[in-house]
Amino acid sequence: MWVNAREMAQMAPPERNRWVDFLRALSILAVVFGHWLVAAPYIDSSGAVQGGHLLGILSWSQWLT
């Protein structure tokens, strides 16, 4: 996998801005991490796993979006 990534990086034009690529990748990771954080699974009184949503449970967290 890294060999392919290295080859693709060498094929990229030299004027390509690697800092922008890094910021783009970081943004994608932030979105994935944020979606993971807002999922609020819990076990109800019958023992079943239920899904909640953090933004609905903690209204103060809505400003984060």
Domain membership of residue 14 (yes or no) is: no
- Residue 65 and residue 54: Cα distance in Å, rounded? 11
Domain membership of residue 15 (yes or no) is: no
Domain membership of residue 20 (yes or no) is: no
Q: Please give the tally of structural domains in the chain.
A: 1
Domain membership of residue 58 (yes or no) is: yes
Confidence class of residue 1 from pLDDT cuts 50, 70 and 90? Answer: low
Domain membership of residue 11 (yes or no) is: no
Domain extent for 57: 41-65
Render pLDDT for 18-59 as a digit per residue (tens, 0 to 9): 999 999 999 999 999 888 888 888 888 999 998 888 888 888
Render pLDDT for 6-21 as a digit per residue (tens, 0 to 9): 888 888 888 899 999 9
Contacts of 51 (CB under 8 A, 6+ apart): 39, 40, 41
